[in-house]
């Protein structure tokens, strides 16, 4: 079996989807599927090694620039990527086409209606697009949902909403995954309040601002925040209260450094707000928190409840800093409860490895 995975963005990418793509294609190749990853190069970085992923036999990396050659190298267009991608598609007439970008999936369906196409939905664009663009996004989404050979959703809420909007069809649900560490250092549970972390992007719907505000009610705690660009870090530092928890902003760091930090973290926080983006999320960081054996404080949202049972996290009201502070405080005050919660989450994460996800995906691909 051959799979042509098209990713029209630079790799590596400082976003969670880059992690997901790197692990997905590598694990499929390790299972004997011949995979070609067509991506936009981001020199001099290696698209997989950046995430700590080795390129296995059976995986070919095909960089497709979005730029014109010199002296017009300053001109960039996704149409150039698509034009170059069409050449790769023609060279692999038996390959299944795979896309997680809605516009690319639609263009492939229009230009190659005879080819088998897999569309992997990580959000519902009919809901998350800016209001002025929602009608166009709805039409694209509807067409892809009707005509794709296989549709995959990242969560049960994503699949349910797609069916609600675009009609009943079979949609496979494959949450994101994690590279499960075989061993972890001993955590300092007795001082759990000093080992609290958030890891992820700093977009508004992620709720980082709520965590920063909640820190004013958490004296004696230390919270490490991984992620954010320079502007976002400056914004959140400016919001940091004068008293309360000690906040340590690490900024964007390599994936291995984040995982190393989580290995010693006792309490990990997922403070998503109840925004459209949060309703269709499958946070890689949630699975990383679990695999690292962290007790979790999470916003009470359906996509997160689809992964964790009621007693497997401390659930707080989305967008409510006071509720968030109380949830963190309750775990920090009960280290034994936090330890047990972390152990249960780590064991549950065994079922959400990238390997386990790839096995399910390979089965779906073989079926078509």
Domains along the sequence of the chain with CATH: 2-177+353-367 (3.40.50.2000), 189-351 (3.40.50.2000)
Relative to beta strand 172-173, strand 196-199 is unpaired
Per-residue pLDDT, 69 = 65
Question: What digits encode the pLDDT tens for the residues 70-129?
Answer: 655 556 677 889 999 999 999 999 999 999 999 999 999 999 999 999 999 999 999 999
- Comparing C-alpha atoms, which of 61, 128, 70 is closest to residue 279? 128
- What is the arithmetic mean of pLDDT over 248-267? 94
- Comparing C-alpha atoms, which of 48, 309, 355 is closest to residue 179? 355
Query: Which residues fall within 8 angstroms of residue 114, CB to CB, at 6 or more apart?
Result: none
**Interior CA angle at 52 toward 49 and 53, to 5°?**
70
Q: Is the pLDDT of residue 67 over 90?
A: no
Question: What digits encode the pLDDT tens for the residues 307-323?
Answer: 999 999 999 999 999 99
Query: Sorting pLDDT into bands at 50, 70 and 90, what band is 130?
Result: very high
Average confidence score pLDDT of the chain:
95
Residue 153: beta bridge partners? Answer: 121, 173
Task: Enter the tokens of residue 119.
Answer: 């569309």
Per-residue pLDDT, 136 = 96
Please tell me the distance from the alpha carbon of residue 83 to that of residue 64, in angstroms, as a whole number.
9
Question: What digits encode the pLDDT tens for the residues 289-306?
Answer: 999 999 999 999 999 999
Per-residue pLDDT, 238 = 95
Per-residue pLDDT, 296 = 98
- What is the arithmetic mean of pLDDT over 49-60? 94
In percent, how much of the chain has pLDDT > 90? 91
Question: What digits encode the pLDDT tens for the residues 328-341?
Answer: 999 999 999 999 99
Distances, alpha carbon 324 to alpha carbons 180, 298, 305, in Å = 27, 8, 17
Q: Is the pLDDT of residue 68 over 70?
A: no
Instruction: Identify the residue whose tokens are 């009943």.
Output: 168
């Amino acid at each position: 079996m051959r799979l042509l995975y098209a990713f029209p963005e630079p790799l590596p990418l400082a976003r969670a989807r880059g992690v997901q793509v790197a692990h997905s294609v590598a694990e499929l190749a390790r299972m004997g599927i011949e995979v070609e990853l067509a991506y936009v190069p981001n020199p001099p970085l290696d698209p997989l090694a950046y995430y700590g992923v080795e390129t296995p036999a059976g995986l070919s990396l095909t960089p497709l620039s979005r730029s014109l050659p010199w002296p017009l190298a300053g001109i960039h267009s996704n149409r150039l990527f698509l034009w170059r991608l069409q050449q790769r598609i023609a060279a692999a007439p038996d390959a299944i086409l795979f896309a997680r970008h809605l516009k690319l999936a639609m263009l492939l369906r229009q230009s190659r209606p005879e080819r088998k196409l897999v569309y992997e939905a990580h959000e519902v664009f009919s809901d998350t697009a800016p209001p002025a663009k929602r009608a166009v996004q709805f039409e694209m989404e509807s067409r892809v949902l009707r005509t794709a050979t296989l549709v995959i959703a990242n969560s049960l809420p994503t699949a349910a909403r797609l069916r609600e909007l675009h009609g009943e069809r079979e949609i496979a649900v494959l949450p994101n995954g994690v590279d499960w560490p075989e061993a972890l250092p001993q955590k300092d549970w007795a001082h759990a309040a000093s080992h609290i972390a958030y890891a992820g992007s700093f977009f508004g719907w992620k709720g980082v601002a709520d965590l920063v505000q909640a820190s004013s009610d958490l004296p004696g705690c230390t919270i490490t925040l991984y992620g954010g660009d320079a502007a976002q870090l400056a914004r959140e530092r400016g919001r940091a209260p004068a008293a309360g928890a000690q906040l340590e902003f690490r900024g964007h760091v390599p994936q291995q450094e984040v995982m190393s930090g989580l290995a010693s973290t006792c309490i990990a926080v997922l403070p998503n707000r109840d925004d459209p983006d949060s309703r269709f999320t499958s946070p890689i960081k949630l699975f990383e928190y679990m695999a690292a054996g962290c007790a979790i404080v999470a916003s009470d949202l359906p996509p997160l409840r689809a992964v964790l049972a009621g007693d497997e996290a401390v659930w707080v009201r989305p967008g409510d800093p006071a509720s968030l502070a109380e949830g963190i405080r309750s775990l920090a005050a009960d280290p034994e409860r936090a330890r047990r919660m972390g152990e249960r989450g780590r064991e549950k994460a065994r079922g959400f490895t990238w390997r386990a996800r790839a096995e399910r995906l390979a089965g779906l691909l073989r079926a078509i």
